Structure 1
Amino acid sequence: MTKFKKNVARQTYGQRKDASGREFEVRSLGIQVKSTQSSKGSQVKPENIIGLLHLKNVATDSTVHHTVEIQCDSEPTPQPIVIQSSIDSENKKLDMKDEMYKRIGRALCAIKSDTFPKIPTKKNIKNSGEEIMRNVTNVINIMRASIGEDVRHTFLKNMIDATSKVCGISRNTVINRTPEREMKPKKRLRDMSRKEKCRRYVSELPMLTRSRIIGRIHEMWRNGKDVTSEDLWKWSKENLSFTKGKTVFLHVLRGLGFLYKKKDHNTVVEERLDIIKRRGIYLNEKKKWDEKNAFYGSCDETWAHDGMVRRYGWQHSNGGNYKRARMSDLEAPQAGPQQGKERGKRIIVAAVLTEKGVLPGSELLLISGVNVDEQKADYHRDMDGDNFERYYKTIVPLLAAEAQKEGRPAVLIVDNAPYHCKAIKKPPTSGSSKQEIQAFLTENGLKFFKKQNRDVLYDLVKAFIDCNGGREAFTTYEFDEYAKSHGVTVLRLPQYHCFFNPVELLWSQLKQHLRKEGNTTDTAETVRTRALRFLQNFRDVSSKDLFAHTQKIEQDVREMSEERMLTLSEEHFDLLYDVDDEGRLINVTIDGDDVDNGDFFDSFCLSDDSSDDSFDDSDDDEELIIDYTEMV
């Protein structure tokens, strides 16, 4: 560090004249500052020099002489000494700090004590440490919000640190006891819920191990074996080196998405080829109407009965003892809530659900006239063809009018209940007469021999129907024709596909509502009134959610089917090629597994130039019949 020696070199006095000839006294003060080390740009503070205390910093060289001349009158008067210095930037910083301190002070003064929260607990003060700490945190947050951006210059810039310092506790205590914070501490396993434990255990397994466990379960399903956690756990220990216990393995199964519940899987929906084909036709038709922005109506029926209550409720864990006590003494405590009825006087409920809610005027609630003891599992004795005919002649005009208001085509979604399928015209069956089969062939322009027997003719009909869309394409329903006359298209669901129908979700909510509000003493008329009120007040927002849910299911099935078809088309082919002398592939061709039977099936497919002419009888009929039968 540079050291300086300061001394006054000399002082001189004299007389001078100004421009006007006026004499004045001049005193010259010379200052010599010597440095023991030669350095430029050093700073010196001449605190001991009289008259220059206002100088904060003076830039000096190794030897610097400063001469200050002061003009004095005959009677000297104190005059301010103006000296230029380089301290403006520092003064500016000081002014900014002063202004910041003023802002912080004004912000703190503006806080009223009434804004600070009070501790709501009624515990003693010695047992309220956690509540006090949280209250201090809330007060600090109020102060931080009042100060604003200037809080970064105070000790309140970090809420956790400020709470720790004010309360005199450790920072970790504040973190663990503060319910709302940015970084939550990692949960211990014993503090986790069952779902969190399942996810934790699954995340510790490699992806290949998870896939093999899932594949093992699917393999056992395919082979018809009963899947038990005991067998899976032992298999995992032997084949996957699973080292944990059976309880952890149960958590792994739940984390993989498996659940032990009642078996409800119906393989018919997946394995029957006719249903698979019908599902594809429905999804294609539904997609076309979606693109046209159709106004959908979802129609179906369900049932309710008197005395509907919830199946589950809070009861005594030792309810058996209470029941025995009530048998001997009616004054004993109640054993539990009264059990509801699973069967009772039925109410048949029908309605049309649209995206705007339940279609006004489509609510139909019929109290069954069938004795409870004679009731069957379904309600088709009450909702038969005659009742449904009267019903659809009411709802179809209402749906057409509502769709016309929206300026969109009307589509009514229904299932395949027997009373929905009253046919006007349908194709022949295996039990049809030869005349009926011949009439069908003639109507559709198919050529045949009159001497052919009924079985051969029916084989021709069957091949023709399969080639042109199935039996549905040749069946005309009374319901469909009536709807078409009003501009409404009927879209029929595939069999066993009620989950494509939005109104089924409405029935689930209706029955849940009836059980929630019901009592064991409710009559059928009471349940009917309650159900009608629910349908009339069903909101359009809920209806849109139900339609969106079914559309998502349809899109998922559609995408998976398309992906499966692409996979099959990429895998099922044979690559044909030859190899030359140098080992190169030549004459490369792709040969598919499909056999081209177009020439045969073209004779069965409908075309515009089909002729109604039939073959004339000839002597070669028997030979032709034999050849034709072999082709079929």
Structure 2
Amino acid sequence: MLRPPRPPLAKVRYTNSLSNGLRVIQRDKLTLEQLELLDKNSMGIAVINNGDDCETQTEPESPPPLTVETAVQTEVDRMMAIGEVVAKMTTVQVVKPVGDHRGLQILRNGVQQLENLKMQMGKFARDTIFGNVIKLARAMFGVSESTVLKAKKQFLPKAKDRHVDTRKSRNSTALKLLSDEEKQLILDHIDKCHEEDANFSIATLHADLEHQYGYPYSPSTLYRQLRAMRLSFKLKQYNPFAAIRRDIIKWRKKYLTLMDKLRLEGAFICFYDETWIFHGMTKIRGWNHVDTNPYLIAHWGNLNHPRPGFPAASDKGQRAIVLAVTTESQILPESIDIVVSKRPDSEVLVDYHQYMNAEMYKKYMMKVLPMIVKATPAGREAVLVIDNASIHNSVVEKVFGYLRKANLQSFIDSYQEFVKARIAHFSINARHLIKRISQKELLRYEVDEYAASLGVRIVRIPPYHCQFSPIELVWHQLKDHLRSTGKSSDKLEAVRERAINYLKNKSESDILFTYEHVRDIEDGIKSVMEIDEKDSDDSDSDTD
């Protein structure tokens, strides 16, 4: 990032200052050590530890009055900075003019080069002839603005390719303007906003970076740099529990390790989940006349001959629960079940978990687990992955929570093999053994026990990690299909039949895509975990 060479004023931030803002002081007031700190800082700010200096811990003084000499020096510094930028400019590759439209292609190449130069100049381009590339090209080539625009449009690639290529190339080009230290400075600033829950837009972020660090580029360039650094303006979905709870972090690591092991051993991995559908599933948006909303119809519409329009879509009323198991190649046909709630419409809740209970889940699994065994190829272990909903965790018997003689005897009788295995490893008495055993180790679930008797292993996804299940993507595709093909007048039975037909006809390639999509998500999370572990090891070695 280029800056004016040795301006008369310098930006200073004191670490012990009562004010969080910057100071602007004369450069000649800095010591040689402070000048060295200023030159090393990528944003042109000297960060100085002022200790107990009370004079520097007051509010910043106003900058000195602008004199003619200062103004001239500032303009000279600005022109020198522009000269440094121009000296380091590079060109881009262009298409060689051929054919009957060589003149337009030459014009197109010229405009492309001018736009590239404007991008490299950053904010310095605003007050120069590069501020408006179209007008500059018109003056250089002696043609009208319409001819310049025609040349740009005529040689553009296809719309789809142009959108992707231009976006990626512009983002990449903008990011090259920043050094690694400057990128990290911007990311750290954004991370601080996340930690403080401080909302920001491109405009406010640009203002903060410009004020605090002297960021010299335009807001649009900042936007492209953020996109190139894999930042996006999207729905807020960050869940801190998945990132800060140690038990979930350990569960996630254990789950990913187990899944890698099962895939390596050639296990036949299936996934189970539930979702909901409702009557009248249709799109919530559609092309309507602008005067077909209820307010305008009541006041200005013709009540005898009202204009037609799409009826309002609703997600209320009677619902049904969809249950299914997906294998590596299909939605298991025998597993597809859609249960209509028997509650009145007024009592139906948005969350289907409120009226699907553990008994319904148990009956469903008693029917489906033998089907999974039947679908499992010979020589492969059957694995069923489920989420951690409470209805999936009905225990065979409760684990004692206190140590009495009756509890101790019951524990030894029920878990003889478990106790023998632990005693073989630990030379401790039974009471001490129980204190060291986690209650979660002793829990035995009804469905898991039944599945084990059939040779099916049950694996649970960590909490807040539904993205690890391919069937979640199937549910999303199902609801898109139902909304695209449905009408607001459809009865629940019609929606139910439509959903069953969709799930039964799901192609193998579609299912394979969902499995690969989950693998990509797992690989991305594992790469982040590896980086975190490496950083943790490095910090531990530095401490040692």
Same fold (TM over 0.5): yes
Cα offset, 1:422, TM superposition: 1.2
SS in 2 for 1:413: strand
2:414 is the alignment partner of 1:440: no
From 493, 497, 514, give the equivalent of 1:546. 514
Cα offset, 1:522, TM superposition: 0.4
Query: Is the Cα contact below 8 Å between 2:278 and 2:495 reproduced in 1?
Result: yes
| Residue type of the alignment partner of 1:530 | R
State the match for 1:329 in structure 2.
303
Query: Is the Cα contact below 8 Å between 1:322 and 1:332 reproduced in 2?
Result: no
Q: CA separation of 1:464/1:173 partners in 2, compared to 1, >3 Å: closer, same or farther?
A: same
From 469, 481, 506, give the equivalent of 1:501. 469
Q: CA separation of 1:323/1:463 partners in 2, compared to 1, >3 Å: closer, same or farther?
A: farther
Query: Is the Cα contact below 8 Å between 1:307 and 1:520 reproduced in 2?
Result: yes
From 82, 102, 115, give the equivalent of 1:171. 102
Equivalent residues in 2 for 1:464-543 (5 A)? 464-465=437-438, 471-543=439-511
Cα offset, 1:549, TM superposition: 1.4
2:350 is the alignment partner of 1:419: no
SS in 2 for 1:303: strand
Cα offset, 1:523, TM superposition: 0.3
| Residue type of the alignment partner of 1:356 | S
CA distance in 2, matches of 1:388, 1:418: 11
CA distance in 1, matches of 2:113, 2:296: 46
Q: Which has more helix, going by share of residues?
A: 2
| Residue type of the alignment partner of 1:366 | V
State the match for 1:24 in structure 2.
none
2:322 is the alignment partner of 1:349: yes
CA distance in 2, matches of 1:174, 1:349: 58
Q: CA separation of 1:570/1:527 partners in 2, compared to 1, >3 Å: closer, same or farther?
A: same
CA distance in 2, matches of 1:561, 1:205: 27
Q: CA separation of 1:373/1:434 partners in 2, compared to 1, >3 Å: closer, same or farther?
A: farther
CA distance in 2, matches of 1:319, 1:205: 51
* Percent of residue pairs identical: 27
Cα offset, 1:573, TM superposition: 4.1
Cα offset, 1:328, TM superposition: 5.6
Equivalent residues in 2 for 1:560-599 (5 A)? 560-573=528-541
2:181 is the alignment partner of 1:208: yes
2:230 is the alignment partner of 1:262: no
2:380 is the alignment partner of 1:408: yes
Cα-to-partner distance string for 1:275-308 (whole Å, 9 max, x where unaligned) = 1122222122212111111111111111100011
Q: CA separation of 1:330/1:281 partners in 2, compared to 1, >3 Å: closer, same or farther?
A: farther
Query: Is the Cα contact below 8 Å between 2:386 and 2:461 reproduced in 1?
Result: yes
CA distance in 2, matches of 1:400, 1:198: 51
SS in 1 for 2:271: strand
| Count of residues in Structure 1 that have an aligned counterpart in Structure 2 | 393
| Residue type of the alignment partner of 2:388 | N
Equivalent residues in 2 for 1:373-392 (5 A)? 373-380=346-353, 382-392=355-365
Q: CA separation of 1:198/1:551 partners in 2, compared to 1, >3 Å: closer, same or farther?
A: closer
CA distance in 1, matches of 2:489, 2:171: 44
Task: Indicate the structure whose relative CO is greater, using CA pairs within 8 Å and at least 6 residues apart.
Answer: 2
Query: Is the Cα contact below 8 Å between 1:349 and 1:364 reproduced in 2?
Result: yes
CA distance in 2, matches of 1:386, 1:268: 29
CA distance in 2, matches of 1:185, 1:199: 16
| Residue type of the alignment partner of 1:331 | H
Name the TM-score, length of structure 1 as normaliser. 0.56
Equivalent residues in 2 for 1:33-52 (5 A)? none
Cα offset, 1:563, TM superposition: 3.7
Cα offset, 1:553, TM superposition: 1.9
CA distance in 1, matches of 2:217, 2:112: 26
| Residue type of the alignment partner of 1:333 | R
State the match for 2:61 in structure 1.
none
CA distance in 1, matches of 2:377, 2:220: 61
Q: Which runs of 5+ in 2 are unaligned?
A: 1-95, 116-132, 135-151, 153-161
CA distance in 1, matches of 2:284, 2:405: 57
State the match for 1:128 in structure 2.
none
Cα-to-partner distance string for 1:368-415 (whole Å, 9 max, x where unaligned) = 11112112232235432222222111211111111135x321111111
Query: Is the Cα contact below 8 Å between 2:273 and 2:325 reproduced in 1?
Result: yes
CA distance in 2, matches of 1:434, 1:516: 63
Q: Which runs of 5+ in 1 are unaligned?
A: 1-158, 165-169, 178-183, 451-456, 466-470, 576-590, 592-632
State the match for 1:25 in structure 2.
none
Query: Is the Cα contact below 8 Å between 2:171 and 2:225 reproduced in 1?
Result: yes
Question: Looking at CA atoms only, which structure, 1 or 2, has the larger radius of gyration?
Answer: 1
| Residue type of the alignment partner of 1:565 | E
From 345, 358, 366, give the equivalent of 2:331. 358
Cα offset, 1:441, TM superposition: 6.7
Query: Is the Cα contact below 8 Å between 2:466 and 2:472 reproduced in 1?
Result: yes
CA distance in 1, matches of 2:499, 2:261: 35
Q: CA separation of 1:428/1:552 partners in 2, compared to 1, >3 Å: closer, same or farther?
A: farther
SS in 1 for 2:335: coil
2:360 is the alignment partner of 1:429: no
Query: Is the Cα contact below 8 Å between 1:423 and 1:476 reproduced in 2?
Result: yes
Query: Is the Cα contact below 8 Å between 1:399 and 1:410 reproduced in 2?
Result: yes
CA distance in 1, matches of 2:218, 2:238: 30
Q: CA separation of 1:255/1:337 partners in 2, compared to 1, >3 Å: closer, same or farther?
A: farther
